[in-house]
Amino acid sequence: MDNQPRSEFDLIGRFFADLGAHRADVLLGVGDDCALLEVPVGLSLAVSIDTLVAGIHFFHDCDAEAVGHKSLAVGLSDLAAMGASPAWATLALTLPERNDDWLAAFARGFGDLARTYGVRLVGGDTTRGPLSVTVQVHGLVRPAAAVRRDGARPGDLVWVSGTLGDAGLALRHLREGDPVDPALRARLERPDPRVALGSALRGIATAMIDLSDGLAGDLGHILAASGVGAEIDLAAVPLSSAVASRIASEGDWSLPLSSGDDYELCFCAPPEQASLIGSLGNTLSCALSVVGRIRPEPGLVARMPSGESITLTNAGYDHFSDNT
Ligand code: ADP
Ligand code: MG
């Protein structure tokens, strides 16, 4: 920590000096003024940073291993949405006090996920203050192959991976003090970034984004960047049975449309690619669903299961309960 230099170096050496996968492209890792990293000729660095603040992005009493996992997972999800291959991470950690049990669990959650995706922790900063975790991730991608938000074209199908709304439902249960099914809770606290899917969609998807804020808003970013609109069919939105029964009982679609933290991928692709994408999903054991289609007219229209169509605006998508 800043005011305790010796204990800071001890802490870094103990928990962060050897975290994640070993990589030959790390010429110098944790311990010097900078890390030295080798970027292969012809590839670009894809860089993204996210901060998780205790009490805002996770509960103060949240399991430290889950905080370590999620702080890296959200960045890996951004790399996935770009079609980039994860390589390195840096970590800025602000801690109210040194707690070695907490640090060991945090490092385990972070390190396990880092090794799973071949990521090396190459540096960071450690300070004293209210608990907050900032992770920057660095991935590699050929610039021409990166999947951006601006490539969606009229006629493209709109796809999503996995099921939507589970993390939002887990958060509601936790906020209401209700018991939460562990699998549902894991969707909120230990998201699995769709790294393999993101890379596999290079050259296939015309536009892609990861779902951190709900389908309506995040697909809205693709539509705005691409200068198009879309129609989505709510009956086609993939739901777990828990979310489906909540929607059936409350008639409120805000869980899949506007709750956050799903970290699934939403992407667009011409209909001719549908069978290839279907087989990709089988190979990767990842459910992939067509939820709609890109249209030339701007705006996002949702077809309700009743057949009625509703225009979703940025502010409006959680104001249409009781329409099923
Ligand atoms: P400097 O004062 O030169 O910025 P620091 O004392 O902040 O260096 O950090 C010493 C070394 O430890 C640096 O290589 C830095 O990247 C690394 N480091 C500091 N905190 C962390 C952390 N939380 N995770 C990983 N590496 C860290
Ligand atoms: Mg420093």
Q: Residue 17 Cα, ligand 1 centroid: separation in angstroms?
A: 9
Q: Whose CA is nearest to atom 24 of ligand 1?
A: 124
Ligand 2 centre to CA of 125 (Å) is 5
Lining ligand 1 with CB less than 6 A are 12, 16, 30-33, 91, 93, 121, 123-126
Q: Which fold is adopted by the domain 6-144? A: 60s Ribosomal Protein L30; Chain: A; (3.30.1330)
Overall pTM surpassing 0.75 (yes/no): yes
Binding residues: 33, 48, 50, 57, 78, 124-125, 149, 210, 212-213, 261, 317
> In this structure, which residue's CA is closest to atom 11 in ligand 1?
31
Query: Which ligand is located closest to the Cα atom of residue 89?
Result: 1
φ, ψ at 142 (rounded to 5°): -70, 130
Neighbours of 314 (CB within 10 A): 11
pLDDT (tens place) for every residue of the chain, 324 residues total: 544 556 788 999 999 999 999 999 999 999 999 999 999 999 999 999 999 999 999 988 899 999 999 999 999 999 999 999 999 999 999 999 999 999 999 999 999 999 999 999 999 999 999 999 999 999 999 999 999 999 999 999 999 999 999 999 999 999 999 999 999 999 999 999 999 999 999 999 999 999 999 999 999 999 999 999 999 999 999 999 999 999 999 989 999 999 989 999 999 999 999 999 999 999 999 999 999 999 999 999 999 999 999 999 754 444 443 333
* CA 194 from centroid of its chain's CA atoms: 8
DSSP 23-41: -TTEEE-BTBSS-EEPPPT
Give me the residue spans of the domains in the chain.
6-144, 148-311
Q: Which of 16, 71, 90, 125 to mutate to test the pocket of ligand 1 (most atoms within 8 A of CB)?
A: 125
32 CA to middle of ligand 1, Å?
8
Which mutation among 7, 28, 72, 126 tests ligand 1's pocket best, with the greatest number of atoms within 8 A of CB?
126
Sign of CA dihedral 203, 207, 292, 294: negative
Ligand nearest to the CA of 6: 1
Topology adopted by domain 148-311: Phosphoribosyl-aminoimidazole Synthetase; Chain A, domain 2 (3.90.650)
Question: Which atom of ligand 1 is the closest one to the Cα of 31?
Answer: 14
Q: What is the whole-number distance in angstroms between the Cα of residue 80 and the centre of ligand 2?
A: 29
Task: Report residue 274: phi and psi, to 5°.
Answer: -60, -40
Domains 6-144 and 148-311 share a fold: no
